Amino acid sequence: MSRQVALIVAVGQYEAATGLQKLSAPVNDANALHDLLRQYGSDFQPVLLPKGAKEGGSYYLRDAPVKIADFADSLKGILNNPQVETLLLYFSGHGTRHAPDALSAPQSYLTFSDNAHALSLNSLSQAIENAAHIKNIVLILDCCHSGATADFFSILRGGKRFCLIAAASDMAEASALKGHSLLTQIVLEGLNPETRDLDVIKASQLSEFVNDYPNKPPSFLPPSGYTYHSFILTKRAIVAAPTPAPQYKLNKAPYKGLQAFQEEDADIFFGRDSFIEELLQRLASQRFIAVLGASGSGKSSLVRAGLIPKLRQGHIHGKAWHIAHMRPQHDPLGILSYELHNLFPNIELDSTD
């Protein structure tokens, strides 16, 4: 099996017991993605559910049932193969929101032909986390209630690099077009290096494209996060010969001396990529991070010129970040209250609380 695998799943047929209607979009969209990966993502070995007739040297998906056991077997084979390093998992079908029992909170589920509550996103994330050899993950959920990807983030560990894209918030339905879905159409456009005039499309570039796509419906969930050191998904069939390195003309000196780099210095801040990536990955699953180090070791530069520009670009949970700077000085709580009040003037804050 290849080091890069694309598990493409289209569930359009449902048994009557599930109470779910048949869908026409999943097979159409999944085959369109399969076509694009054949042309531009040849490094990916496709695993298709359901697999249909062979055309032009490649199998295509057909409009047939996909049972949870079929999916479980395919995913297990990938997760148990130590050669697999990158997994692209695309799911198109119904998604449901369901509480397992009266005492449990509702969870989001991927549905299959024989089960309307077949696989929770928590269970899926746990299975992927346990596969230590898989380091790069692209999860594209084109289904209703798929916005519970926050649950995925809260569980995913192990230094994995991820790109998660969902078609709707956890309480909303996905947007459909005639015979297709909106999310997949955007993803197909974002993955096409020809139409975007790029030699390669990385996971971060796909996530940025989906995040910035205009005129999305309010329920459309932007990418939940992705790695800073992203990995290549698609590339031109023929990549142009390398060109000489560009001669950059800087309008300011790239050396700050003893001064800390600020947010506006992001374009000349180099050499801390691994630290920035670690901060992004930790922030994706926890709300507080302390950056500690000796005086003058570059803590402020790392946060201000490295981390904050990435947050503003939408590298974690979209672009809805509010940034405040403060120095504790003689009244830490008072200064914190003042800075927060500048961000949220309608909220009453008391530094004595």
Give the pairing type, strands 161-166 and 136-142.
parallel
Q: Tokens representing 37?
A: 């990966």
| Averaged pLDDT for residues 309-320 | 73
pLDDT digits (tens, 9 = 90+) for 111-148: 999 999 999 888 888 888 888 899 888 989 898 877 66
The predicted pLDDT at position 69 comes to: 95
**Which is more confident, 192 or 60?**
192
Q: How far apart are CA 65 and CA 117, in angstroms?
A: 16
pTM exceeds cut of 0.75 = no
In the predicted structure, residue 153 carries a pLDDT above the cut 60 = no
- Closest alpha carbon to 204 in 143, 276, 287: 276
- Residue 211's nearest CA partner among 298, 310, 76 is 310
**Per the structure block, which two tokens stand in for 210?**
């989906």
- Checking if the pLDDT of 225 tops 60, the result is no
pLDDT score at 281: 76
Tens-place pLDDT, residues 180-198: 788 899 999 999 999 999 9
Confidence band for 227, pLDDT divided at 50, 70 and 90: low
* Distance (Å, whole) CA 284 – CA 214: 24
> Alpha-carbon distance 154 to 135, whole Å?
17
With tokens 């700050």, the residue in question is 256
CA 314 from chain center: how many Å? Answer: 11
Q: Could you give all domains of the chain from N- to C-terminal order, each with its CATH number?
A: 4-235 (3.40.50.1460), 263-321 (no CATH)
pLDDT at residue 166 is higher than 90: no
**Cβ-contact 7, 90 below 8 angstroms:** yes
Cα–Cα distance for residue pair 95/144, rounded to 1 Å: 5
Q: By C-alpha distance, which of 128, 119, 175, 177 is closest to 148?
A: 119
Tokens representing residue 113 in the block: 């032909």
Would you tell me how many other CB atoms lie within 10 Å of the CB of residue 235? 17
Q: Convert 313-351 to b/e letters by CB count within 10 Å (16 or more is b).
A: bbbbbbeeeeeeeeeeeeeeeeeebeebeeeeeeeeeee
Sequential DSSP letters for 238-266: SPPPPPPPP----SS-S--TTSPP-GGGG
Q: Taking a C-beta distance cutoff of 8 angstroms, is the pair 272, 280 a contact?
A: no
Judging by DSSP bridges, how do beta strands 136-142 and 86-92 pair with one another?
parallel
Number of residues that this document lists for the chain: 353
Whether the Cβ atoms of residue 60 and residue 31 lie closer than 8 Å to each other:
yes
Is residue 172 pLDDT above 60, yes or no?
Answer: no
Q: How many C-beta neighbours within 10 Å does residue 21 have? A: 8
pLDDT, greater one: 225 or 109: 109
Give the pLDDT confidence score for residue 264 in this predicted structure.
85
Read off the pLDDT band of 294 (50, 70, 90).
confident
User: What are the residues facing 137 on neighbouring strands?
Assistant: 87, 162
Strand partners, 55: 58
Say if residue 185 is exposed, middle or buried (CB neighbours under 10 Å; 0-12, 13-18, 19+).
Answer: middle
Residue 302 clears pLDDT 80, i.e. is over it = yes
